[in-house]
């Protein structure tokens, strides 16, 4: 039975929409994943050197033993947010004559097939082999690897257990995340205890008493069993799914927007789209993180004037770039409805401009504290804000007319490649290059301010000729609308 | 009201719709029946300018549907959940659709209170997004949003498929009332032969893209259709209603 499951699983992987779409994306994904793994491997390989640099006064084995537990704590925190529950896949087998135990065993086992379980080994095993093996012998090495495996399994199932519980009750997630953070705070801010000492207490003794390795193994086995039991008692669809317990969803209105008539209504709908769906919401939250770019670039005099253009553009326009690159795929699931209703495409486009203008204005206001680094920076931000709502919005919408990929809004953002096509790569070039075409030559001739002025003037021209661009985009859309609608219908 | 000329749609070499000529007059109630894959939904989509036909045209009030938008003012349609904005609450969706037709929220509320029976207390003020409603309740939202638009032409694709028996009967009387008393032209497809012959005055039977029968509903229509669908079986066993097609 298990082999049948595995065969189905492989088919599901190869035939899934995300992997199967185009070879180019698959290659890009492969390269990216390989690159990440290589990075971690590199880090693992030179961990001993790194530790020497970070803790120069301590013996490296002591420091190494100290960080292992810290790693697992942050690993647990990461897993809670990113690791996915391998659950709904069993739905088609539940009503078939398949033994429950083999189903649950399979479910619990496949949970181990996660990239997260590779990381600790890639990171730590090179160190163990390089440093610990020559000093303390094969048995200690084995003990280390076995304890790493035990802790990995323990973390894996603990994270899944918490995630399953929090599906039924959202507080569980919040409380566990807080507890993990408090444990960290207790060490680093309050100095109540030292996690590194605790970690060393165990791993340091592991060298002299290898049998201690049984402890993490026991913990892992215990956690696995707990999961197995929990699944066995709760093998029902609603408890397996990744759906959160439903709250009362109230209707909202944005009175400010309703002044704009249909355009305002459409923009209001899109704001709701952004806020009420996981993936689009994370596009917005990402934007808030980008707000910190300034702290990196402006505090470091190493970065010259030219970087301000880049940083200003990203901070005020990240939402336009991040969310806009997937337009109109966000609305794929109801695009037919938009087409048959009494909505002109002009209004549809105006709503996009309105949405971008509102959110970019918000982001611009959030960047005003950077005035601390000088008024000039605020001016650059304002010019790039104009550039974003003038030029970049039009550019993004031009590419939106060429986007035929459906996006399922209900799925999360992490490692989600749905809706990605060559379009996004191509779009990034003009987005990044265009301002520098205007700015670059003058900057080289030491008249950067003229370059800035040119950017501002171009942006203003685009803003004042908006209705012209809307007409062009509309005409363009009518030649492509069937293809767009067709693509969005393809689940 | 609607005239179709030489309409053809071909998907990878297979003709899925081929309608040389079809005319639907104002005030008619037309039913569309046919097995899965007969081309009903494709025909609907072409009539709503959602897909481009290989050849031919659809005229609505004398104006081609493709390239014009006037028909949207008097046409309301619900083909599948793809017509609903699923992250809105039903109320928000109704206000949005009403707003497109210049109706105030008070107006919409007023209209919706008239549909209380049809909703059976499962749609309004439930604190759910449309995506969290069952398929049947989503269908109710879709149909209600159509009615809200006060259309002259109403197009529904398999509205009876997912809704409960009480709602089916309510929907039937709603459709009859719209057609007989308000003069709305209705075009409804269904796999339920009883319902469709009950509601519609004229039945179009599609097979492999062609309209092979165009009959005015009379006392013998149901038997005629049952005889067609129950090929080679006794009539009583033949009345097997198809499951909802997956769009």
Q: What is the pLDDT of residues A20-45, one digit of tens each?
A: 456 666 677 778 778 888 888 888 88
Q: Give the pair of three-digit tokens for residue B47.
A: 């009539």
In what helix (H) or strand (E) does residue A24 lie, and over which residues does it extend? Answer: helix A23-45
Residue A366 CB coordination number (10 Å): 14
pLDDT band at A243 (very low <50, low <70, confident <90, very high): low
Query: Based on C-alpha coordinates, what's the Rg of chain A?
Result: 27
Is residue A414's pLDDT more than 60? Answer: no
Shortest CA gap A469–chain B (Å): 20
Least confident of A66-75, A185-194, A428-437: A185-194
Which of A333, A336, A488 is the best substitution to test chain B (most B C-beta atoms within 10 A)? A336
3-state DSSP of chain B = CEEEEEEEEEECCEEEEEEEEEEECCCCEEEEECCCCCCHHHHHHHHCCCCCCCEEEEEECCEECCCCCHHHHCEEEECCHHHCCCCCCHHHHHHHHHHHCCCCHHHHHHHHHCCHHHHCCCCCCCCCCHHHCCHHHHHHHHHHHHHHCCCCEEEEECCCCCCCHHHHHHHHHHHHHHHHHHCCEEEEECCCHHHHHHHCCEEEEEECCEEEEEEECCCCHHHHHHHHHCCCCCHHHHCCCCCCCCC
Chain B residues in contact with A334 (beta carbon < 8 A): 82-86
For residue range A315-369, what is the model confidence (pLDDT) as tens digits? 999 999 989 999 899 999 999 999 999 999 999 999 999 999 999 999 999 999 9
For chain A, the maximum distance between any two Cα atoms, rounded to a whole number of angstroms, is 78
Q: Note whether B88 contacts A482, CB cutoff 8 Å.
A: no
CB A60 within 8 A of CB A52: yes
Please give the mean pLDDT across all residues of chain B.
90
Rounded to an integer, the average pLDDT of A446-453 is 88
Quote the crossing angle between the two packed helices A422-444 and A305-324, to the nearest 10°: 160
User: If you measure CA to CA, which chain A residue comes closest to B146?
Assistant: A341
ipTM of the complex: 0.83
Cis peptide bond upstream of A210, omega within 30? no
Is residue A145's pLDDT more than 60? Answer: yes
Shortest CA gap A336–chain B (Å): 6
Which of A274, A329, A342, A345 is the best substitution to test chain B (most B C-beta atoms within 10 A)? A342
Residue A155 and residue A327: Cα distance in Å, rounded?
38
Rounded to an integer, the average pLDDT of B145-149 is 94
Q: Is B89 on the interface with A (CB under 8 A)?
A: yes
Residue B51 and residue A54: Cα distance in Å, rounded?
63
Please give the mean pLDDT across all residues of chain A.
85
Residue A363 and residue A312: Cα distance in Å, rounded?
11
Half-sphere exposure of A358 (CA within 13 A, CB side): 15
Residue A220 and residue A155: Cα distance in Å, rounded?
8
Is residue A104's pLDDT more than 70? Answer: yes
Q: Note whether B101 contacts A343, CB cutoff 8 Å.
A: no
Q: Is B96 on the interface with A (CB under 8 A)?
A: yes
Q: Is B156 on the interface with A (CB under 8 A)?
A: no
For residue range A182-221, what is the model confidence (pLDDT) as tens digits? 888 888 878 888 888 888 888 888 888 888 889 999 999 9
| Residues 112-141, chain B, touching A (beta carbon < 8 A) | 127-129, 131-132
Q: Which residue has the tokens 């799925």?
A: A411
Shortest CA gap B236–chain A (Å): 31
Q: Give the pair of three-digit tokens for residue A262.
A: 């249909």
pLDDT band at A9 (very low <50, low <70, confident <90, very high): confident
CB A390 within 8 A of CB A458: yes
Q: Is B70 on the interface with A (CB under 8 A)?
A: no
Q: Note whether A249 contacts B79, CB cutoff 8 Å.
A: no
Express as a percent the part of chain A with pLDDT over 70.
92
Residue A236 vs residue A21, higher pLDDT = A236
Residue A167 and residue B134: Cα distance in Å, rounded?
20
Q: At CA B32, angle to CA B46 and CA A333, rounded to 5?
A: 45
Residue A488 and residue A336: Cα distance in Å, rounded?
9
For residue range A246-277, what is the model confidence (pLDDT) as tens digits? 678 888 888 888 888 889 999 999 999 999 88
Residue B20 and residue B32: Cα distance in Å, rounded?
16
Give the full edge-to-edge strand order of the sheet including B55-60.
B14-24, B2-11, B55-60, B63-64
Residue B177 vs residue A196, higher pLDDT = B177
Rounded to an integer, the average pLDDT of B104-133 is 91
Q: Note whether B84 contacts A272, CB cutoff 8 Å.
A: no
Residue A159 and residue A83: Cα distance in Å, rounded?
8
Q: Note whether A249 contacts B97, CB cutoff 8 Å.
A: no
Least confident of A197-211, A291-305, A339-353, B112-126: A291-305
User: If you measure CA to CA, which chain B residue comes closest to A339?
Assistant: B50
Q: Is B72 on the interface with A (CB under 8 A)?
A: yes
Burial class (CB in 10 A: 0-12, 13-18, 19+), B156: buried
Tell me the residue length of chain B.
247
User: If you measure CA to CA, which chain A residue comes closest to B132?
Assistant: A246
User: Which pLDDT score, from 0 to 100, does residue A33 have?
Assistant: 77
Rounded to an integer, the average pLDDT of B47-56 is 92
Q: Sign of torsion, CA A399 A404 A408 A413?
A: negative
In what helix (H) or strand (E) does residue A101 lie, and over which residues does it extend? Answer: helix A100-110
Spatial neighbors of A320 by CB under 8 A, at least 6 apart, are A356, A359, A360, A388, A389, A392, A393, A396
Q: Note whether B82 contacts A410, CB cutoff 8 Å.
A: no
Tell me the residue length of chain A.
491
Return the DSSP state at A280. H
Residue A407 and residue A323: Cα distance in Å, rounded?
12
Q: Which residue has the tokens 């929090």?
A: A166
User: If you measure CA to CA, which chain A residue comes closest to B52?
Assistant: A482
Q: Give the pair of three-digit tokens for residue B59.
A: 């005229």
Three-state DSSP class for residue A11? helix
Residue B180 vs residue A170, higher pLDDT = B180
Least CB–CB distance from A251: residue in B83, B91, B100 = B91
Quote the crossing angle between the two packed helices A305-324 and A375-387, to the nearest 10°: 40
User: If you measure CA to CA, which chain A residue comes closest to B126?
Assistant: A248
User: Which pLDDT score, from 0 to 100, does residue A36 have?
Assistant: 81
For residue range B188-247, what is the model confidence (pLDDT) as tens digits? 999 999 999 999 999 999 999 999 999 999 888 888 898 888 865 554 444 445 554 444
Question: For chain A, which residues lie within 8 Å of any Cβ of chain B, measuring from their own Cβ?
Answer: 246-253, 261-262, 265, 269, 272-273, 276-277, 333-337, 339-344, 409-410, 478, 482, 485-486, 489
pLDDT band at A18 (very low <50, low <70, confident <90, very high): low
For residue range B62-90, what is the model confidence (pLDDT) as tens digits? 999 988 889 999 999 999 998 999 899 99
Return the DSSP state at A128. I
User: Which pLDDT score, from 0 to 100, does residue A293 have?
Assistant: 82
User: Which pLDDT score, from 0 to 100, does residue A46 have?
Assistant: 87
CB A326 within 8 A of CB A436: no
User: If you measure CA to CA, which chain A residue comes closest to B83?
Assistant: A337
């Amino acid at each position: 039975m298990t082999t049948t499951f595995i065969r189905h699983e492989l088919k599901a992987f190869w035939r899934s929409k995300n992997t199967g779409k185009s070879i180019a994306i698959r290659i890009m994904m492969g390269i990216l994943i390989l690159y990440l793994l290589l990075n971690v491997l590199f880090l693992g390989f030179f961990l001993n050197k790194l530790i020497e640099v970070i803790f120069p006064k301590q013996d490296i084995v002591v420091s190494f033993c100290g960080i292992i537990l810290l790693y697992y704590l942050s690993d647990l925190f990461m897993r809670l947010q990113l690791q996915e529950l391998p659950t709904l896949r069993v739905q088609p087998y539940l009503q078939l004559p398949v033994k429950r135990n083999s189903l649950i065993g399979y479910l619990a086992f496949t949970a181990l097939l996660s990239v997260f379980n590779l990381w600790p080994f890639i990171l730590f095993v090179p160190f163990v082999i390089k440093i610990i093996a020559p000093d303390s012998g094969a048995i200690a090495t084995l003990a280390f690897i076995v304890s790493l495996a035990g802790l990995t399994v323990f973390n894996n199932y603990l994270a899944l257990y918490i995630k399953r519980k929090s599906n039924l009750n959202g507080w569980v997630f919040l409380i566990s995340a807080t507890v993990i953070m408090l444990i960290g705070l207790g060490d680093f801010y309050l100095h109540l205890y030292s996690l590194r000492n605790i970690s060393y207490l165990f791993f340091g003794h592991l060298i002299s008493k290898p049998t201690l390795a049984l402890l993490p193994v026991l913990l892992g086995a215990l956690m696995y069993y707990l999961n197995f039991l929990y699944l066995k008692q709760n093998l029902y669809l609603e408890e397996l799914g990744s759906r959160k317990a439903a709250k009362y969803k109230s209707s909202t209105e944005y009175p400010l927007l309703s002044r704009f008539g249909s355009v305002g209504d459409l923009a209001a709908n899109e704001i709701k789209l952004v806020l009420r769906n996981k993936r689009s919401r994370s596009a917005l939250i990402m934007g808030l993180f980008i707000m910190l770019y300034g702290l990196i670039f402006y505090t470091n005099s190493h970065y010259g004037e030219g970087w301000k253009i880049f940083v200003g553009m990203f901070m005020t326009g990240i939402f336009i770039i991040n969310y806009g690159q997937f337009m109109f795929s966000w609305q794929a699931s109801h695009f037919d409805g938009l087409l048959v209703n009494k909505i002109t495409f002009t209004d549809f486009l105006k709503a996009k401009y309105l949405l971008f203008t509102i959110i970019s204005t918000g982001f611009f206001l959030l960047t005003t504290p950077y005035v601390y680094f000088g008024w000039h920076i605020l001016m650059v931000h304002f010019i790039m804000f104009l550039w974003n709502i003038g030029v970049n919005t039009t550019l993004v919408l031009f590419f939106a007319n060429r986007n035929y990929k459906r996006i399922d809004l209900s799925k999360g953002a992490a490692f989600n490649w749905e809706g990605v096509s060559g379009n996004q790569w191509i779009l990034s070039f003009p987005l990044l290059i265009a301002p520098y075409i205007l700015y670059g030559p003058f900057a080289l001739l030491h008249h950067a301010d003229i370059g800035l002025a040119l950017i501002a003037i171009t942006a203003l021209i685009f803003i004042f000729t908006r209705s012209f661009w809307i007409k062009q985009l509309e005409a363009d859309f009518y030649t492509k609308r069937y293809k767009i609608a067709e693509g969005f219908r393809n689940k | 009201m609607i005239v179709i000329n030489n309409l053809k749609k071909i998907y990878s070499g297979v003709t899925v719709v081929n309608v040389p000529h079809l005319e639907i007059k104002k005030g008619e109630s037309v039913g569309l029946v046919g097995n899965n894959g007969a081309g009903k939904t494709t025909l609907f989509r072409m009539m709503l300018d959602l897909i481009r036909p290989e050849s031919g045209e659809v005229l609505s009030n004398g104006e081609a549907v493709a390239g014009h938008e006037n028909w949207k003012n008097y046409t309301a349609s619900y083909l599948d959940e793809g017509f609903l904005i699923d992250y809105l609450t039903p109320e928000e969706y109704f206000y949005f659709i009403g707003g497109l037709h210049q109706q105030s929220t008070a107006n919409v509320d007023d209209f919706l209170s008239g549909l209380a029976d049809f909703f059976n207390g499962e749609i309004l003020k439930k604190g759910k997004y449309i995506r969290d409603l069952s398929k049947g309740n989503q269908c109710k939202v879709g149909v209600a949003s159509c009615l809200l638009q006060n259309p002259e032409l109403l197009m529904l694709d398999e509205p009876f498929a997912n809704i409960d028996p009480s709602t089916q009967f309510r929907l039937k009387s709603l459709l009859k009332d719209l057609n007989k008393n308000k003069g709305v032209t209705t075009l409804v497809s269904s796999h339920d032969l009883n319902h469709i012959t009950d509601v519609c005055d004229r039945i179009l039977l599609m097979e492999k893209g062609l309209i092979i029968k165009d009959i005015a509903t009379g006392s013998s229509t149901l038997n005629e259709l049952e005889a067609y669908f129950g090929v080679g079986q006794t009539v009583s066993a033949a009345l097997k209603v198809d499951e909802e097609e997956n769009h």
